[in-house]
């Protein structure tokens, strides 16, 4: 199952409902690839809810302006997730990456992601089962977890801001709404990532991977 090049926006739960996620790798699914998607203004940008078994790759997506959790970790111990080359931008909620209790028994491997928040009291869930590597942490209030490799604490130097205007059935998807979260040539995200094999060959905007050394985030500069 591959979910790619989709805009999913403004998803909210029905009355008395629980889920409000844009994209979800759910119960008993395996070998799921979620790539090149734009997920703004949902309750959860992406929910990983793999129970019974499963594995998922979440790569080169842009999640922004989600009102509950940008990325919600809710799988059981039999599941594995590789999360790399994504940009998570949070300006509406406290929880950028969130999970709790037995939902953290799964294995979550985060590499080469930009995690950025402008929200007061912003937080990242940590656990021995979550590995943050080569991550850029940005925003005035986002705490940097201790003990993880190759952490970059800096302003990513975005070229602009996300455009939350949704696409329509007539005009089609507005994947370009994420382009304000590209980074400038002098960004501390440039050349600071690590090489990942089998990475799909391109970034969110379709540029080839890699131009020189790997960059952190959903956009390769160059």
Q: Which of helix, strand or coil describes residue 46? A: strand
Nearest partner of 10 among 65, 50, 51, judged by Cα = 65
Pairing between strand 114-117 and 136-138? Answer: parallel
pLDDT of 28 = 85
pTM, rounded to two decimals: 0.95
Among 128, 85, 86, which residue's Cα sits nearest to residue 107? Answer: 128
Confidence at residue 72, expressed as pLDDT on a 0 to 100 scale? 94
Q: How high is the pLDDT of residue 171? A: 86
Confidence (pLDDT) at 51: 85
CA distances in angstroms from 174 to 7, 39, 67, 132, 158, listed in the order given = 7, 11, 20, 30, 19
Domain ranges of the chain: 2-181
pLDDT of residue 222: 76
The count of residues in the chain is 222
Residues of the chain with pLDDT under 50: none
Q: What is the pLDDT of residue 126?
A: 93
């Amino acid at each position: 199952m591959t979910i790619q090049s989709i805009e999913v926006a403004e998803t909210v739960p029905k009355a008395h409902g629980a889920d409000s996620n844009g994209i979800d790798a759910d119960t008993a699914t395996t070998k799921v690839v979620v790539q090149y998607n734009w997920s703004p203004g949902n309750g959860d940008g992406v929910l990983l809810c793999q129970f019974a078994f499963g594995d998922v790759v979440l790569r080169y997506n842009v999640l922004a302006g989600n009102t509950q959790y940008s990325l919600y970790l809710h799988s059981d111990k039999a599941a594995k997730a590789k999360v790399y080359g994504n940009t998570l931008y949070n300006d509406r909620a406290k929880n950028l990456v969130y999970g709790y209790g037995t939902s953290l028994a799964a294995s979550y491997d985060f590499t080469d992601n930009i995690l950025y928040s402008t929200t007061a009291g912003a937080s990242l869930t940590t656990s021995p089962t979550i590995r943050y590597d080569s991550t850029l942490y940005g925003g005035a209030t986002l705490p940097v977890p201790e003990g993880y490799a190759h952490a970059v604490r800096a302003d990513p130097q975005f070229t602009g801001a996300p455009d939350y205007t949704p696409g329509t059935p007539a005009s089609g998807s507005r994947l370009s709404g994420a382009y304000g979260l590209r980074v400038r040539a002098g960004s501390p995200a440039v050349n600071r990532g690590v090489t990942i094999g089998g990475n799909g060959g391109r970034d969110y905007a379709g540029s080839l991977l890699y131009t020189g050394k790997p960059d952190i985030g959903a956009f390769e500069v160059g």
